[in-house]
Amino acid sequence: MFNHGNGPSDPTSISTPPPAPPLDGGSSTLSLVLLVAGMVVAAILAVSLVFWVLGLIFSVAGIILRVAIVAAVAGLVWRRVTRDRPPHPYL
């Protein structure tokens, strides 16, 4: 048969693949534990950040709502006080 660069032509000279490295259970278990611990820490940080942002948003919304209520009450009081007043002579 012709050999077109697809390996050795002598079947006895074919090398066997290198043996697989021995499985070290301790190393893979440790890396899995570290991976899980890292993911837990990342999840805790992400949830903390989300709740902090939500708290900030609701705090700002509360301040805006208070200002709006005070402005509405002030407008009602102003209209009530100035309703029965005669117009200013200089206006």
Domain range for 58? 26-82
Position 67 in a domain: yes
Tell me what pLDDT residue 83 has.
83
Position 78 in a domain: yes
| C-alpha–C-alpha distance, residues 32 and 25, integer Å | 11
Tell me what pLDDT residue 35 has.
95
Tokens of 52: 């902090």
**Count of domains observed in the chain:** 1
Tell me what pLDDT residue 88 has.
72
For residue 17, pLDDT over 70 is answered with: yes
For residue 8, pLDDT over 60 is answered with: no
Is residue 8 within 8 Å of residue 14, measured between CB atoms?
Answer: yes
| C-alpha–C-alpha distance, residues 62 and 66, integer Å | 6
For residue 10, pLDDT over 80 is answered with: no
User: For the residues 49-70, what does the mean pLDDT come to?
Assistant: 98
The beta strand positions in 11-63, using DSSP E, are none
Is residue 74 within 8 Å of residue 81, measured between CB atoms?
Answer: no
Tokens of 19: 């043996």
